[in-house]
């Protein structure tokens, strides 16, 4: 069986923070991180079978292994959990909808996704593994448009 995700396509560890600017400054001071400029998007998202528009604000570290800091969004899955910094692992995939379906078929419950054409997952999807990992363990990103330029190598050949 072919793996659904490839370890070499792990791009970032996502961390939801209460204050994006403060978290960026703190991690820069203690870890020497440099960051992309904060990105802001309003996206149509499905969370637990409910569609809504969510306003995102986030930044990526320029250094690898990359961190993605996401400004908390009350009332959504993007809320920090005290004592638990890691929120998700972000993988690059070529087809978010197809990979999301394969993960669901493998028992990873889809928790949230950007709603694309025909209601399919697009741009990213979050899945929860209720088994061995017992955590939110995947978000797929179908392109590197907002990522630092050194973040993905082409493995299509």
Residues 10-29 pLDDT 10s: 899 999 999 999 999 999 99
User: Token match 């400054």: residue?
Assistant: 25
Q: Taking the model in full, what pTM does it have? A: 0.80
Domain covering 7-141: architecture: Roll (3.10)
Q: Which of 99, 98, 94 is nearest to 144 (CA)?
A: 94
Residues 29-84 pLDDT 10s: 999 999 999 999 999 988 888 999 999 999 999 999 999 999 999 999 999 888 87
Query: Ramachandran region of residue 144, left (φ > 0), alpha (ψ -120 to 50) or beta?
Result: alpha
3-state helix vs strand vs coil in the chain, percent to 5: 20, 45, 40
Scanning the chain, the segments in alpha helix (DSSP H) are 20-31, 96-105
Q: Which of 45, 37, 148 is nearest to 92 (CA)?
A: 148
């Amino acid at each position: 069986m072919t793996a659904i995700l490839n370890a070499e396509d792990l791009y970032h560890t996502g961390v939801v923070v209460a204050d994006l600017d403060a978290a960026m400054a703190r991690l820069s001071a203690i870890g020497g991180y440099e960051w992309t400029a904060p990105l802001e998007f309003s996206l149509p998202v499905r969370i637990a079978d409910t569609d809504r528009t969510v306003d995102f604000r986030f930044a990526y570290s320029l250094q690898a292994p990359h961190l993605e800091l996401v400004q908390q969004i009350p009332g959504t899955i993007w809320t920090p959990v005290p004592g638990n910094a890691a929120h998700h692992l972000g993988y690059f995939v070529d087809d978010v909808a197809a990979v999301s379906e394969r993960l669901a078929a493998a028992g990873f419950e889809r928790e949230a996704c950007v709603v694309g054409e025909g209601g399919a997952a697009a741009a990213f999807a979050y899945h929860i593994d209720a088994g061995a990992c017992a955590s939110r363990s995947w978000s797929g990103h179908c392109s590197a448009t907002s990522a630092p330029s050194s973040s993905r190598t082409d493995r299509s050949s």
